[in-house]
């Protein structure tokens, strides 16, 4: 058994020169469906013959893992593992590897891009002008405004530094704050309550928990007309409560790159005129992909004892 299943939709569609390293190590590559997440049935078809899985964001269930008797490692070309049944993987002694920090710059830059697009209504201005309409929506300047960053890890720290560079005041919240991180007198860690209460803009950079962080209670504590940016996970937001907040202008704009299903169904939140949506492009840059694939391959070769 020397097969590696390639499930990442980016790699199945575009390939990558670094995959040659696996072949040079004597491994055979088995590719999932080009450009989309493999289904459970497709995984069950090929994974029982594989010793390694280079995975994207596709769901990897207990059923799939238990059928994969030869699987030694799942190596994510990213950082999230909420798509994997981790308990089943532990029971089966399948190692789970990630690529910390590989996508941080790309996601952070997108968060800032979405913020700027939101406060100046760039998408709707572009769309209306191309449709022959000269409608101008008054925006705000971000210099001196307060941005709240929920989740101050690799990505959050980069967003903080960029926001400070744009002249913003930054409030940070983290479950386990890095007290050694002190980039400016214009940054401080605060409670969630204070962050919600004071921020003009809020950017989310946390993994999903049992309940959404942005729920009715959280929204009620926010300033009227707050801008909300989500490049983390769709599950950290309560969609129904957010639609209500958009309808009352409690939230001025919701800009998101993440969805519960991909591609998502066009629902009331996505189609809302005060929502800006991008198709999960945060880590979809040449540089992020290169970093993630190289480290993901390193992890596979290390676990299989082929790194020497």
Buried b (16+ CB within 10 A) or exposed e, 245-262: bbeeebbbbbbbbbbeee
Specify the pLDDT at position 308: 54
Cβ neighbourhood burial of 266 (10 Å; 0-12, 13-18, 19+): exposed
Buried b (16+ CB within 10 A) or exposed e, 286-301: eebbebbbbbbbbbbb
Specify the pLDDT at position 307: 75
Residues of the chain under the 50 pLDDT cut = none
| 180, 193, 237, 289 from 101: Cα distances, Å | 18, 28, 23, 12
Identify whether the C-beta of residue 78 lies closer than 8 Å to the C-beta of residue 57. Answer: yes
* Domains in the chain: ranges and CATH: 3-102+285-303 (3.40.50.720), 104-277 (3.40.50.720)
Backbone angles phi, psi at 255, to 5 degrees: -115, 125
Calpha distance 246→23 (Å, rounded): 51
pLDDT digits (tens, 9 = 90+) for 55-65: 999 999 999 99
pLDDT digits (tens, 9 = 90+) for 63-115: 999 999 999 999 999 888 989 999 999 999 999 999 999 999 999 999 999 99
Ordered DSSP codes for 270-288: TT-TTEEE--S-TT-SHHH
Find the radius of gyration of the CA atoms of the chain.
21
Cite the active site residues.
233, 262, 280
Calpha distance 221→193 (Å, rounded): 7
Quote the distance between the C-alpha of residue 77 and its chain's center.
12
Specify the pLDDT at position 47: 95
Q: Where are the alpha helices (DSSP H) in 2-48?
A: 9-14, 20-24, 40-46
**Dihedral in degrees, nearest 10, Cα atoms 202, 213, 55, 259:** -70
Q: Where are the alpha helices (DSSP H) in 184-249?
A: 192-198, 216-221, 239-247
Query: What are the structure tokens assigned to 111, written together?
Result: 């968060």
Calpha distance 192→166 (Å, rounded): 23
Calpha distance 73→124 (Å, rounded): 45
Calpha distance 51→58 (Å, rounded): 18
pLDDT digits (tens, 9 = 90+) for 209-229: 999 999 999 999 999 999 999
Query: What are the structure tokens assigned to 256, written together?
Result: 């998101």
């Amino acid at each position: 058994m020397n097969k590696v299943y390639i499930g990442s939709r980016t790699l199945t569609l575009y390939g990558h020169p670094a995959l040659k390293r696996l072949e040079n190590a004597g491994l055979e590559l088995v590719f999932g469906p080009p450009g989309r997440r493999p289904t459970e049935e497709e995984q069950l078809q090929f994974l029982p013959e594989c010793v390694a899985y280079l995975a994207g964001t596709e769901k990897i269930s207990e059923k799939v893992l238990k059928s994969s008797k030869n699987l030694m490692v799942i190596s994510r070309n990213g950082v999230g593992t909420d798509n994997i049944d981790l308990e089943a993987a532990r029971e089966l002694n399948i190692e789970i590897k990630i690529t910390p920090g590989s996508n941080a710059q790309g996601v952070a830059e997108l968060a800032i891009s979405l913020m700027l697009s939101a406060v100046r209504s760039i998408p709707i201005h572009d769309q209306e002008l191309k449709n022959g309409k000269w409608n101008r929506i008054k925006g705000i300047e971000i210099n001196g405004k307060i941005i709240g960053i929920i989740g101050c890890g690799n990505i959050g720290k980069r967003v903080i530094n960029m926001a400070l560079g744009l002249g913003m005041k930054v409030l940070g919240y983290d479950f386990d704050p890095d007290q050694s991180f002190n980039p400016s007198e214009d940054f401080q860690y605060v409670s969630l309550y204070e962050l919600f209460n004071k921020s003009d803009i809020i950017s989310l950079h946390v993994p999903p928990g049992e309940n959404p962080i942005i729920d009715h209670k959280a929204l009620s504590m926010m300033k009227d007309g707050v801008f909300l940016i989500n490049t983390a996970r769709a599950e950290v937001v309560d969609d129904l409560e957010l639609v209500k907040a958009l309808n009352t202008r409690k939230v001025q704009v919701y800009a998101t790159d993440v969805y519960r299903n991909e591609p998502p169904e066009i629902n009331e939140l996505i189609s809302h005129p005060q929502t800006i949506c991008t198709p999960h492009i945060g880590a979809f840059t040449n540089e992020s992909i290169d970093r993630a694939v190289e480290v993901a391959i390193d992890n596979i070769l290390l676990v299989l004892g082929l790194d020497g």
